[in-house]
Amino acid sequence: MNLTLIVILAVVVVLALYTTLIYNNLVRLKHTVAKAWSNIDVALKQRHDELPKLVNVCKRYMRHEQETLTRVVAARGEVLAAQNAGDVRDLGRAETALRAGLDRLFALAESYPDLKADRGFQQLSQRISQLEDTIADRRELYNESVNLNNVRIEQFPDVFVARMFGFLAADLLEFEAARKDVDIAKLFA
């Protein structure tokens, strides 16, 4: 056998193994993003199931706050639609609206002592707060997975394998409310 042929075969084998290694790493990252999204999805569904219960408890006490309750219900529907469509950008916008509605609802609850004292309201608001924390934690993990995936498919030489096999960048899950500055003067007023 010719030495040149052996060198060429060795180079081809090394390139094939290296390409396989890159491909497998990209597959792992893609599935990590999907798993992280699934974890967010579970928490969103749990919260989605709790919101009607909270709204029903509030309706008994908040006769004059129908607009706020309607906003929460509408935002809940928008979150579900975005979630079912798998649209991360729309989900971020819908989540922002839902969180604003929930903030308003909990702020209004302060004006209703009977509602604040209601055991069902206390349990549901605590459960929703816990789910909000869970969603925030899972969102952080999801965004980290997305970032790792997106960086990897743009790095050399991974970009060639990513393009060859159709690996795509994923969208970060962003909530606009998280970007707003806190009005500290309002907190001490």
pTM for this model (two decimals): 0.73
| pLDDT tens track for 73-98 | 888 888 888 888 888 888 888 888 88
| pLDDT tens track for 34-45 | 999 999 989 888
The single-letter DSSP state of residue 177 is G
Asked whether the beta carbons of 82 and 91 are under 8 A apart, the reply is yes
pLDDT of residue 23: 95
Q: Above pLDDT 90, what percent of the chain? A: 35
| H-type alpha helices, 62-117 | 66-85, 88-109, 113-117
Alpha-carbon span 46 to 140, nearest angstrom: 18
Mean pLDDT of the chain: 85
- Integer-rounded Cα Rg, in Å, for the chain is 24
User: Which residue did the predictor score with more confidence, 69 or 141?
Assistant: 141
Domains of the chain in start order, with CATH, are 3-187 (1.20.1440.20)
- Model confidence at 121: pLDDT above 90: no
Asked whether the beta carbons of 153 and 162 are under 8 A apart, the reply is yes
> Which is nearest to 146 in space by CA: 58, 16, 5, 31?
31
